[in-house]
Each structure stands twice: as C-alpha cells, then as structure tokens.
Amino acid sequence: MASVDTQRLMIKVARLYHTHGMRQTEIAARLQISQSRVSRLLTQAEESSVVRTVVAVPQHSHADLEERVEARYGVSEVHVIDAVSDDEAELNRDLAHTMAALFQEIAFDVPAIGFTSWSKTLRLMVEALQPVRTRTQRVVEMLGDLGPPDLQHDADRSTQRFATLTGGQPVFLRTPGVVSSTDMRELLLSRDPYAVEALKLLDSVDLALVGIGACEVDPVLRSGDNFFTDGQFEHMRDLGAVGELCLHFLDADGVAVESDLDDLVIGVTLDQLRSARRRWAVAGGTRKHAAIRAALAGGWVDVLVTDTDTAEFLMSGPDPRSTATPRRRSVRTSQRATQKTTQKTTQKAIQKATQKSNGVPLRTGLS
C-alpha cells in the first residue's frame, strides 16, 4: 500500500495533469522528479480510482424515441442510451454512468432519498457519482439485506458513500430482506427499534431510487439466500407476475399481484412507493423487458434510464392506456386456503402413517 507521502504526490501529479493540463515533462520539471515516475503515478492514480474516466454522452441523443415512450406511458422523463454489448454487466455499467450524470444535474432539493442498495446498477451509479448539493438530510435503505455477507457489505458501503456524497446521514436497514415466515418478521422487528424507525422513515421519501427485477432469482443471488426461492418465483409466475419492484410483484399490466410473499419482505411497501414524490429507475436488457414495461404501465416509475432495445420493446405491443385495470389484485385468500388444505392433508397422512406403524386401528369417525 502506498505511503501517505506517495499518495499526496500521486494526487498532486494527477491534478496537474488532468485539471491544469500540464504535460508530463512540465510536471517532472516542476516537482523535480523523473518523467517515468510521473507516468507511473498517473497510472497508479487510475488504478486506485483517484482518477476516473467518464464518457459524457450528450443527453437526448434518442430524443424521438424518448418522447414516444414518455407519451405512451405518461412518465416525466425517459433517458435512452445505446448498448455497446449484449453483456448484462457492461450494459449495467453504462446505464449506471448515465444515471449518475442525471443525478449530478438534479435541480431540486431531496431531503429524504430512498435507496435500493442491493441493486448492482444503483451501486455502480454511486461509484460514478461526484459530490452533489441536494440538501439531503438522510439516505434510507429501502430493503433489508439480500444474499451473502459480501453483497451485504457492498450494499452497506454504497449507502454510506451515497450519503456522504449527498451530505446526508445514512439510515441502514440491517435485517434480512426476505424472511421465512411472518412470525420471524414480527420477531425480528420487535427486537430491532432501528429497523422499525428506518421503515417508518420510508413514509416520507422525496426521491425513491427503485430496483426493477425479472420474476426469477437474480443472477448475483441464490435461491432462498435472504431472498425468494425458485419455487416461490415459479408460483408468482403462475399467478401472472412478470417482474418485481423492490420485491413486490407486478403483472404484465403493472397491477400489483399481492400475495402472502409480501408479508415476508422487510422493506418499503407499495403504498410507501406510491407516496414518494419522485420515483427513478435504471434498468435494461432483454431479461428485464417485461418487468420494466410493467413498472411503467402501472405508473410505479416517473423517470427511467434504459437502453435502445428496451425502449423499442416498450413501444411494441398494445398501448397500456387502452386497458383500464385495477392497481392491485390479491391472491392472499386463495393462497391461504390452499395452504390450509395442504396442511390438513399432510397432518392426516402423518397421523394415519403413525397409527399404522404403532398397530393402532384407524379411527373411522364413528363413535
């Protein structure tokens, strides 16, 4: 690890070269070091992220397509970029830089920001962000921990950095994002007043940075690892869900598919999302096409950053305004009925097997 003196010299060289426009030979003469050392320090500055390369893409280079998507879904702003690769990781990085540039130019105060810290694209946005003046008082995590400890650590660091860049205080939600039962949820919250306070703060969010996901286990997560299982996602697909917004499921028309799985999530509710003054999302790629369309069709997002292929997909198919649908449909009752029937059937089977194994005559129900 570089010494403090070396770090200071590296920063000075980087500033003279990138900010003041001096040539390497001029820097070497001024600081009385060799030109080769100047070159090494500049390389080191890039490797340690002291210097970051940002490609400033002109806004609205796809103005016509953006305006058509805005008009079709009734959203405030759509920002479209060209995808340079089919690789999802590369696309996410490009989308994140565009989102960072958009946030950098924010022209209104955002005292309370809701942040989906487990979103890889939003974490990349924070990495690309520079300090901003948004009069932010707090950055509140909108979901509990998802996935393994290293992902949880990355999310924690991203929330801290985001709060520092905006001048606010981080409000962490250090609980599992998805639990195994409602009893476990109640137990965890009964013993964690900080989590309860964080959830309460989500009632008053000025800007919600939301995560949009496909109706499947995210590639960076594992089934059931503080997350829904493959079976739970399959069940929601059977019920008509095509994607999720902060782990709340939506059908193709953007109608919330309410189920008992909502009660297993420790995080922002759909009512809290609706009450947020602004809701920004950054998402793209074929895997999320249906989910992004659902988020827009349901009016869950008012600003979107996405790619050209996704934008073209959003313009295909029927106009979402042509079909009036309720904002929510519940399948809780049918789920619970199914669960009760399954439990009763299982209990009877266990009882029957136990009686047989013990040589006890089966009860016929007659006295």
Q: Which residues contact 178 (CB under 8 A, 6 or more apart)?
A: 144, 146, 226, 227, 228, 247, 264, 265, 266
Cα 170–173–179 angle (5° rounding)?
Answer: 165
16 assigned to some structural domain? yes
pTM passes above 0.85: no
CATH no. for residue 13?
A: 1.10.10
Q: What is the pLDDT of residue 48?
A: 85
What DSSP line would sit under 215-284, residue for residue?
SS--TTS-TTSSS--HHHHHHHHHTTEEEEETTEEEETTS-EEE-GGGGGB-B--HHHHHHSSEEEEE--
CA atoms within 13 A on the CB side of 328: 11
The whole domain housing 294 covers: 63-329
Per cent of the chain over pLDDT 70 is 85
Determine the Cα–Cα distance for residues 289 and 127; give it in Å rounded to an integer.
25
Q: Per residue in 133-172, pLDDT tens?
A: 889 999 999 999 998 999 999 999 999 999 999 999 999 9
How many domains does the structure of the chain reveal?
2
281 touches 257 (CB < 8 A): no
| Average per-residue pLDDT for the chain | 86
240 touches 252 (CB < 8 A): yes
Residues 28 and 151 occupy one common structural domain? no
Q: What is the pLDDT of residue 352?
A: 44
Q: Per residue in 300-359, pLDDT tens?
A: 999 999 999 999 999 998 888 765 455 666 666 444 444 443 344 334 443 444 444 444
Q: Which one, of 152, 94, 163, 151, lies nearest residue 126 by Cα?
A: 163
Residues 70 and 42 occupy one common structural domain? no
CATH no. for residue 143?
A: 3.40.50.1360
181 assigned to some structural domain? yes
